[in-house]
Chains A and B, each alone.
Chain A
């Protein structure tokens, strides 16, 4: 450690005012603070002590919460691959296939995203903020396994530049950055992010007879009779019982890399709530809102998707992942406690509504979260207004 510290201190003067590489000071500082916590002390007036938590540690906690989804999802990519081509394989071989697909996406996401952040930090002369540590992991987890890497790069660049830096950087963005990246691909290159892309099949391999790449959402949206029966009969011959309730909950089904397993998402959610980093209000109310809207649609009936039992909504599609990792992003969610309940409820409700009524695309969580991100300040406005009115009411002057 002392060696590292001395080396860093030796080159520091090049980056400070008057040094040759003065304009790259914040890039140097990002590396320095990555290795060593800074030695700044509190000012002479005010609180003389500070909490040990900082933004880096907070982001690290969120990344840890995502690790179960990441590991399971990586394995699942390989598992779905071998299922689709009808061959058997060991767990290790499944992991290898998964790693081969997932790791390049992670590298591109972090590389492009952090690169852009460093450039903006250098140009705008402020420290490199840690916001991208979490987004860089979220973007791969919401991508299909064989998304072209150049698309990941373009989407990340768009999301970071337009979605975040244009508003002022970490803490200033209006919409969720990872969902902005996904939404960009959905609208700009729809064929690679919808349809039959959710099971990865390597070059040179052929799908097994009877193979269908339909996700549970696609099956439910295209159902002509009873959704539960369609789930039960799906995959006969090559993936028996894949859409049973147990399997849907466990997550061994095709889908985006990280979103398939409700169980892993709930584990991540538990980590976030126990550490106090993620808001349990938002997580609980998203699930509650979705379930309530599902029940309501069950009552009215209409088409098979509306009649699908409400609890299925919680385990198919990306609802669990969105509820735990996307909706809880503190910057873009509602900021007040009461606001978070309303925000989460509306996300859940809109997700189910969009799923059931949208003829083109059966997934609703992404669009619901983006919509509520835009409305979150309005929700907060009403909660704060109630506070102001309480204050005014007791004023006698």
Chain B
């Protein structure tokens, strides 16, 4: 019995470079990489391949020393070219040179009725071995789901309100049967509901509207309404001691394909967006693909930043980088490393601001913004009050929570609701902050302190 929830707080950022509604199949990416940094909560990744080894799609590349059941597998078949390590031999990425045609490790195939009768442990084991388990994220803390835990619910956000976010109707067109199979499998892992959270006014794809066995909820509001943490807060908040799992629709479809076809099919559609992209559109590619071919001759300037993910929560990957495991978009912005004469006082319509302070006339401009990475000011102590609460549609006081984290006060953090948020939920606070504090990284420090204490 789905709920309808209307949220008034938040802020939509109208970024230039939204993707055009066409999907191309580009030249196949030559390299694919899996990075441990895409996953929170890894104790110490242990590599099981060497450079020169041949792998198939679904062969294990590394696993965590602590949770050794969870395999991180190769998305494509090919040859391992590099096991890149950084300082103190920290594993940075495992790079694979992709074959022309993909060979898959064969796992057990199930029919739709088999899925209902197969024991849960068997389903879980296949997911762990094949590499699709990494799609499941556990709250609190936003880490990889613990196979031994039983979540009270599983949430899937079926829309994205981030700046220039891809349209999920285009991303998942035609995947109805795999999404349904994925939902059927996920239902086996929880006693509670599998929630599919949709946007009330956007046209709803049949992938989500026709799903059976899941609770379909409707949300209306500005960003961060699309963030699954906000949705969980309003449907069924996480209390101390409870766990909830979240997964993107891509992950659900991967699970469906794993059981119905027996293959780890890591293909996905992503959106290349942003003001520096000449032709922003959708591309058929694979998990962890290199962006080199996508951006070739496609950027309108040299001095730009290539981000895997959206501009609020993504990671800068560079022109030779690889798309993150969970990410469904790549955004390209220009770097803002320029000085601006009297930049703090001259009036402007072109600068985006949540505030209407002197000279910031962006509230008059409803068009698109060509944003860059300039911080527009230096880091200061917290001064302005009441602003974060306007962009956090949850009953959480962000400033007090952040101050508790900065003071390493574990009891206070817990009492103020740190179990309910991860970085993406407070990303808008980092955007509107007058004092330019690194809020998401402060929050991650707090989460790690809570998790490991």
B356 in contact with A276 (CB, 8 Å): yes
Q: How many contacts A-B (CB < 8 Å)?
A: 224
B434 in contact with A397 (CB, 8 Å): no
Binary contact track B374-385/A, C-beta < 8 Å → 1, others 0: 111110111111
Question: Given contacts A48-B312, A49-B311, A279-B386, is CB(A171)–CB(B357) below 8 Å?
Answer: no
A336 in contact with B397 (CB, 8 Å): yes
Partner of A35, one of B341, B358, B382: B341
Is the C-beta of A60 less than 8 angstroms from some C-beta in chain B?
A: yes
Alpha-carbon gap, A330 to B388, bound state (A): 13
Q: Which residues of chain A (52-111) have a CB below 8 Å from chain B?
A: 52-58, 60-61, 64
B242 in contact with A41 (CB, 8 Å): no
Is the C-beta of A7 less than 8 angstroms from some C-beta in chain B?
A: no
B357 in contact with A53 (CB, 8 Å): yes
Is the C-beta of A43 less than 8 angstroms from some C-beta in chain B?
A: yes
How many residues of chain A get a CB closer than 8 Å to chain B's CBs?
Answer: 63
Alpha-carbon gap, A369 to B240, bound state (A): 40
Alpha-carbon gap, A391 to B358, bound state (A): 39
B360 in contact with A57 (CB, 8 Å): yes
Q: Which residues of B contact A394 (CB under 8 A)?
A: 237, 239
Partner of A51, one of B348, B376, B397, B439: B376
A382 to chain B, nearest CB (A): 13
A46 in contact with B430 (CB, 8 Å): yes
Binary contact track A215-234/B, C-beta < 8 Å → 1, others 0: 00000000000000000000
Q: Which residues of A contact B311 (CB under 8 A)?
A: 47-49
B434 in contact with A51 (CB, 8 Å): yes
Q: Which residues of A contact B417 (CB under 8 A)?
A: 387, 391
Partner of A127, one of B378, B438, B439: B378
Is the C-beta of B337 less than 8 angstroms from some C-beta in chain A?
A: yes
A52 in contact with B351 (CB, 8 Å): yes
Q: Which stretch of B86-94, B117-125, B142-150, B313-321 is in the interface?
A: B313-321
Is the C-beta of B83 less than 8 angstroms from some C-beta in chain A?
A: no
A339 to chain B, nearest CB (A): 9
Q: Name the CB-closest residue of B to A274.
A: B356
Binary contact track A156-195/B, C-beta < 8 Å → 1, others 0: 0000000000001111100000000000000000000000
B383 in contact with A397 (CB, 8 Å): no
B438 in contact with A43 (CB, 8 Å): yes
B interface, by DSSP: helix, strand, loop or mixed? loop
Interface residues of A (CB under 8 A from B): 1, 4-5, 33, 35-58, 60-61, 64, 127, 129-131, 168-172, 274-277, 279, 330-331, 333, 335-337, 340, 380, 384, 387-388, 390-392, 394-397
Add 6 more A-B contacts to A5-B341, A37-B377 (CB < 8 A): A37-B344, A43-B441, A45-B315, A52-B352, A60-B358, A127-B378
Partner of B356, one of A48, A275, A279, A396: A275
Binary contact track B335-351/A, C-beta < 8 Å → 1, others 0: 11111111111001001
Partner of A52, one of B338, B348, B384: B348
Binary contact track B433-451/A, C-beta < 8 Å → 1, others 0: 1111011110000000000
Q: Which residues of B contact A5 (CB under 8 A)?
A: 339, 341
14 contacts across the A-B interface (CB closer than 8 A): A33-B344, A36-B340, A41-B337, A47-B311, A50-B436, A51-B431, A52-B360, A56-B377, A57-B357, A58-B434, A384-B397, A391-B237, A391-B416, A397-B240
A51 in contact with B239 (CB, 8 Å): no
A275 in contact with B357 (CB, 8 Å): yes
Q: Name the CB-closest residue of B to A42.
A: B373
A51 in contact with B355 (CB, 8 Å): yes
Q: Name the CB-closest residue of A to B389.
A: A337
Alpha-carbon gap, A395 to B237, bound state (A): 9
Question: Given contacts A36-B339, A335-B399, A394-B239, is CB(A275)–CB(B355) below 8 Å?
Answer: yes
Max chain B Cβ within 10 angstroms of own Cβ: one of A277, A392, A394: A277
A45 in contact with B380 (CB, 8 Å): no
Question: Given contacts A39-B336, A47-B427, is CB(A337)–CB(B386) below 8 Å?
Answer: yes
B355 in contact with A276 (CB, 8 Å): yes
A28 to chain B, nearest CB (A): 14
Alpha-carbon gap, A42 to B333, bound state (A): 12
Q: Which residues of B contact A395 (CB under 8 A)?
A: 239-241
Q: Which residues of B contact A277 (CB under 8 A)?
A: 355, 357, 384
Alpha-carbon gap, A397 to B400, bound state (A): 24
Question: Given contacts A50-B436, A52-B352, A54-B434, is CB(A37)–CB(B343) below 8 Å?
Answer: yes
Question: Given contacts A46-B440, A53-B355, is CB(A38)–CB(B384) below 8 Å?
Answer: no
Q: Which residues of B contact A172 (CB under 8 A)?
A: 381
Q: Which residues of chain B (370-413) have a CB below 8 Å from chain A?
A: 371-378, 380-386, 389, 395-397, 399-400
Is the C-beta of B305 less than 8 angstroms from some C-beta in chain A?
A: yes
Alpha-carbon gap, A49 to B316, bound state (A): 12
Alpha-carbon gap, A333 to B384, bound state (A): 11
Alpha-carbon gap, A269 to B433, bound state (A): 23
B377 to chain A, nearest CB (A): 3
Alpha-carbon gap, A49 to B13, bound state (A): 10
Q: Which residues of B contact A56 (CB under 8 A)?
A: 344-345, 377
Q: Which residues of B contact A279 (CB under 8 A)?
A: 385-386
Q: Name the CB-closest residue of B to A5.
A: B339
Q: Which residues of A contact B315 (CB under 8 A)?
A: 44-45
Alpha-carbon gap, A10 to B339, bound state (A): 15
A322 to chain B, nearest CB (A): 19
A170 in contact with B344 (CB, 8 Å): no
A55 in contact with B360 (CB, 8 Å): no
Alpha-carbon gap, A391 to B420, bound state (A): 10
Q: Name the CB-closest residue of A to B355.
A: A53
A387 in contact with B395 (CB, 8 Å): yes
Is the C-beta of B110 less than 8 angstroms from some C-beta in chain A?
A: no
Binary contact track B262-299/A, C-beta < 8 Å → 1, others 0: 00000000000000000000000000000000000000
